[in-house]
Structure 1
């Protein structure tokens, strides 16, 4: 009996490092990134100005907290920053990433709607029946600067965001403007009252998110 207990203890000790190693590598791609690779290009390909803390739901369902991430609109992938290293997240290593921004939590995941295929998108409002989706894309553009002697050619990043409002499973392209948002929603009288009472500006994503939360939890449930 003593030998059996000793063997179990030995196995448990040996198992722990393997488990910890799996939890660590799940957040990293085999592909290391050069932090200086964009130094010669004007602007930034990233969605956020700073690397932000995130909660990562691994493909095994485990939660990993306080992981510094940013979304690269040029590659369409999330990246991790740890100490002096940058790595691109392996798509198969996670199910969902929730980035904690000053404006609130924004979720990243794939397969949200067939029209978007398997593209990784940012979900600004992630309700059950209502979702506001941002597709942030960046491309490189070559520009020419005229100088007295010779023109100088340089590259810069050009960003574009496409938004979608998903209502009851139907995907609608939309602009963040009051008229466009209102055209897709029912209960217009109640919405107008809520906008006025809360002084909302539907030309901003922050206030559109507030309205959608009210719309789903109050008006659609009534």
Structure 2
């Protein structure tokens, strides 16, 4: 029985190696300029800054299934992804090793259960002022994006010499207007400003006793506008 298990382990290791080889080969064939850079030991990319911290530097703490579209519009599916919102880097995992997309991909999707989040990479030329990955909340005639920037903060605790590490999260919303991204808040006054040319549609939505208190309400509003 021991010999049988050992043979199975060796067989499984060989199968995993073959799968990894073909994944990397497929990616290489898609675009030679894309590099998947592991750490020097070929293990999971880690950062000591993220050890013993309160909160998570990532969109999801665990690896999630997803897909990417390269700058050449090539689709790569069934990847294990993790999005670092401190460094704004997208990581890809295969066979226990972690890699970083360089250069940035055009867009990517990360799935968690039934939820699916789509991100696109915007540059200053896109009007955002800050290049990076933005989550797509509404797409169509009316486009809305969300940018979450996480920062690692260090401070000494009260009457203590030890440093406490905590992740601070900053969330902003943007509306694409005349090729420029305009920041706004989720409230009636702010939305009336960015939708000044569509006030009648906004009033129609609000007259149906629709609320504008949170992100879910915002998404529903722009689903209505994009009908």
TM, length-normalised to structure 2:
0.70
1:123–1:131 Cα contact (<8 Å) kept: no
Give the CA deviation at 1:44. 1.4
Q: 1:31 aligns with which of 38, 41, 44?
A: 38
Q: 2:186 aligns with which of 171, 176, 179?
A: 176
Q: 1:204 aligns with which of 203, 214, 224?
A: 214
Q: Determine the C-alpha separation between the residues in 2 that align with 1:210 and 1:104.
A: 16
Q: Determine the C-alpha separation between the residues in 2 that align with 1:191 and 1:142.
A: 43
Q: Determine the C-alpha separation between the residues in 1 that align with 2:124 and 2:216.
A: 21
1:66 corresponds in structure 2 to: 78
RMSD (Å), alpha carbons: 3.1
The alignment partner of 1:130 has SS state of: coil
Give the CA deviation at 1:119. 1.3
Post-superposition CA distance 1:137-188 (Å, at most 9, x none): 12221111135xx432222221112221112323211122333123221433
Q: Determine the C-alpha separation between the residues in 2 that align with 1:21 and 1:104.
A: 25
2:123–2:130 Cα contact (<8 Å) kept: yes
Deviates more, 1:134-143 or 1:76-85: 76-85
Give the CA deviation at 1:56. 0.9
Q: Give unmatched runs, 5+ long, in structure 1.
A: 1-17, 218-222
Give the CA deviation at 1:112. 7.4
1:125 aligns with 2:137: yes
Change (3 A) 1:105 1:74: closer
TM, length-normalised to structure 1:
0.71
Q: Determine the C-alpha separation between the residues in 2 that align with 1:52 and 1:192.
A: 39
1:47–1:136 Cα contact (<8 Å) kept: no
The alignment partner of 2:213 has SS state of: coil
Aligned residues: 197
The alignment partner of 1:193 has SS state of: helix
The alignment partner of 2:86 has SS state of: coil
Q: Give unmatched runs, 5+ long, in structure 2.
A: 1-20
Post-superposition CA distance 1:73-123 (Å, at most 9, x none): 21111122335332222225x322123455544222233744335712223
Q: Determine the C-alpha separation between the residues in 2 that align with 1:202 and 1:103.
A: 22
Give the CA deviation at 1:126. 4.8
Q: Determine the C-alpha separation between the residues in 1 that align with 2:23 and 2:88.
A: 29
1:121–1:133 Cα contact (<8 Å) kept: no
Q: Determine the C-alpha separation between the residues in 1 that align with 2:178 and 2:225.
A: 13
1:107–1:126 Cα contact (<8 Å) kept: no
1:163 corresponds in structure 2 to: 173
Post-superposition CA distance 1:183-206 (Å, at most 9, x none): 221433432332454x64423222
1:139 corresponds in structure 2 to: 151
